[in-house]
Structures are given as structure tokens and as C-alpha cells.
Amino acid sequence: MAKRLSSGDAKAYDFLMDAFYQKLCSYAYTLTKDHGRAEDIVQNVFVEVWTNRKKINPNFSIKNYLYKSVYNEFIDQYRKNKPVIFLEKKYMEALDLVIEKEEENLDELIKLVNVEIDNLPKKCKHIFLLNKKEGLTHVEISEHLGVSIKTVEGHITRAFKILGEKLGKKVDTILFLLYNPGTRIQLLKEN
């Protein structure tokens, strides 16, 4: 079968689809617990098999190759989605922390944070906002302003210290909600 497939035999490909598609979907479902994702994985595998058919080793067990490909595709998708899942989790934790006390109003907390950021020393505020609001790394800020990375780190550390003293434990949470791009979009949609 692998030989026929690697030679470009479309009937061999159709046979594989008929023989293994449902079985591979069932296997993928055991990994994902989601029928739609399971089918997407299997479809991606079959597209890859056809696209790379000339590279398939004719001595391979095609069945093992397909199952291993489904597993690898699942792992690839998991890795791609992991940062998103992590960010969503952090966002929900942040919201829970902020909203845990009903008497505290989110809008008031955001205004308070913005006032305290405005009160930071001028250079400290500028570097802090370049990092948090604009998303620049310490190295990028250093190059942009012509200062050392240590200077950038010092100003950001100072900003966090000042804000922590003024705002308490929730400063990190509020800053995450304010300056995480995905969070800003979500907050805009809700308001």
C-alpha cells in the first residue's frame, strides 16, 4: 500500500480514506474529546499524506504511519493552542481576583491605576508604558531610548514598587487586564 501511495496511485489513497478515516477519527477523539477537532486532525493528516506521498518510505506500515501522524498532529495543535489557553486562564483568574469583592468597582480600580501611573516620575512612566502598553521588550526600549537594559529594568521595577505601595496586591491583576492585548479587546467588547 505504501508503495502504491508513494507512486501517486489515487485509488490507494481512496482505499486508505475508506479503510482508516473513521478509525482514525475515533482515535483522535480519544485524544481531543472533541469530534470537530478530531475530524480536523484526521483531515489534516490525510492532506499531509497525499502532499508528501513521494516521501513515504515504501517499507513503512501504513497503518502505524497514519496513527503516528494523527498523534503528532494532535501534539502540534495542542502546542499551538497552549499559549492561548494559558492566557485565557490568566485572564479569568485576573477577573476573579478583581471582582471577588462586590463593593469594589472595576471601573474605579482602572481609573485609580491610571491615575497612579500618571503620577509616576516622567521617565519611569514613559518606560513603563512602552513596556506594558506598547508591548516593547526591555531590549527594544533600550535601543529606542538609547539607554542601558539595566536602566530600563530599574525603571520598570521602580514603577511596580511605587504602584504596589499605592494600590496593594491587585496591581498586577489590574495591569494584566489593562495592558494585555487580548484582554483589552475583550473589555472593549463587554463595555
Cα dihedral 168, 170, 175, 176 in deg (nearest 10): 150
**CA–CA gap between residue 77 and residue 84 (Å, rounded):** 11
Per-residue pLDDT of the chain (191 residues; tens, 9 = 90+): 777 777 777 888 888 889 889 999 988 888 888 888 899 999 999 888 888 888 877 777 788 888 888 888 888 877 776 665 565 566 555 555 554 443 355 567 777 888 888 999 999 999 988 888 777 888 889 999 999 989 998 998 898 888 888 877 666 666 665 665 443 333 333 33
Grid coordinates 518606560 are at which residue? 127
55: Cα separation from own chain's centroid? 32
Within 10 A of 89 (CB to CB), how many other CB atoms are there?
Answer: 10
Instruction: Provide the pLDDT for residue 183.
Output: 38
Task: Say if pTM beats, i.e. exceeds, 0.75.
Answer: no
